[in-house]
Homo-oligomer: A and B are copies of this chain.
Amino acid sequence: MTFERGFAQSEYEDRVARAQAMMRDAQMDAMLFMTEREFTYFAGFQSNFWQSPTRPWFLILPADGDLIAVVPSIGENALSLSWVKTLHIWASPNPQDEGISLLAHTLQSLPRRFGQIGVPMGPETHVRMPANDFVQLQTALAPLTLCDATDIVRSLRMVKSEAEIAKHKYVAGLVCDAYDNMDQIARAGLSERQILKAYQLDVLARGADTVPYIVSTAGQDGSDDAIRFPNDRPLVAGDVLFIDTGAEVDGYYCDFDRNFAIERASDATRRAYDLVYRANDAGIAAVRPGVRACDVWQAMADVLAEGGAEAGGVGRMGHGIGLHNTEWPSLMATDETVLQEGMILAIEPGFDFAPGKMMLHEENVVVRSDGAELTTRRAARDIPIL
């Protein structure tokens, strides 16, 4: 499987055009972005420099016309390589005025129709600038006011183009290969930490750009936790090893897990694996356009309930995937988001089958007109023994 880096410029033009149509409906003169994913999504700009918390970056999408970047001096050259042609630069660091007056001036200079600037301020977003500066910005912008742009960004980013799906599929495929190689990596006597290190190197060597989300936890009959850091206890026969992977290529993620038994699996482990596998089947079968996120959740919850289980402490049984390992929507009882063609979802039923023993099983799918297209190779029907 091959994949091409970047996107045709038409992809960005399309994103911008659809955003601008929604902005006019929502009565915004512009949207203001400041996080890595929005720079990636709209500007096609990528840099590891987001790791440094020192300097904010600002991207403006006016209701009409082209993107405008307001960025620190260190970013001038790198951003000029993107399709964004209007750059305003300030000499940074400057904690006394870290781009605020330049940003306010730029926003105030835009054509004014509604007097509102959209900023993502809702679920799964955050403002990437100091809170004091955000207050100062709002003061400097008056009489312009800020309003919430989460719905626009969410509805755009939830539905992926074929070019976006291709990147997701590529990274999902190479992680499938890495999981298939687990018998070369994990065995009794090695610790969670040793296994995680070898697996991290394997995923990156296979072509993932980064693997920011990676978990390796094990416990007798079942792992005890889906998110904790690995420890140094050597694995022993009967342990279940849980590996979860949010790997990324060219900005796009996969996010799915696998379970492995070390040397042998108990009946309780096998039963839990079977039940969660069937719940996953039911979730995958329930996916189609027009169905709600909560309906997919219900299909999985029903299978678990028939098996005498209820959903565990993870709080949901799946979620969107894209520029983050987890994105909107959530597959849970209260999320009524209607599925659309082109959404990428993690189908992730799980439950605690005994105190401190969880079983969580995840696949990735794309919503297609006729149902779910698996983008991961379905896990083994019985828990693999290493």
Which of A's residues lie within 8 Å of B, judged by CB? 46-49, 51-55, 72-78, 81, 91-96, 98, 119, 121-132, 134, 148, 150, 197, 200-201, 204-205, 210, 212-215, 224-229, 246, 313-316, 319, 324-327, 330, 332, 334-335, 356
Q: A131-B127, A313-B73, A315-B72 are in contact. Are A78 and B227 (CB under 8 A)?
A: yes
CB–CB B74/A213 < 8 A: no
Min C-beta distance of A358 to chain B, whole Å: 9
A129 with B126, Cβ < 8 A, contacts A51-B212, A201-B201, A227-B49 known = yes
Residues of B close to A356: CB separation below 8 A: 77
C-alpha spacing A283/B334, complex, angstroms: 58
B123 touches A48 (CB 8 A): no
Interface residue from B98, B124, B129, B197 paired with A53 (Cβ < 8 Å): B124
CA distance A224 to B313 in the complex (A): 49
- Pick 22 A–B contacts, CB within 8 A, sort by A: A48-B246, A49-B227, A51-B213, A51-B326, A52-B326, A53-B125, A73-B315, A74-B226, A74-B313, A74-B315, A78-B227, A92-B315, A93-B123, A93-B315, A93-B335, A95-B122, A95-B123, A96-B334, A98-B123, A119-B131, A124-B130, A127-B131
In the bound complex, CA of A18 to CA of B94 (Å): 29
- Highest count of chain B CB atoms <10 Å: which of A130, A197, A214: A130
A324 touches B93 (CB 8 A): no
A132 B121 Cβ-Cβ under 8 A: yes
Closest to A227 in B: B49
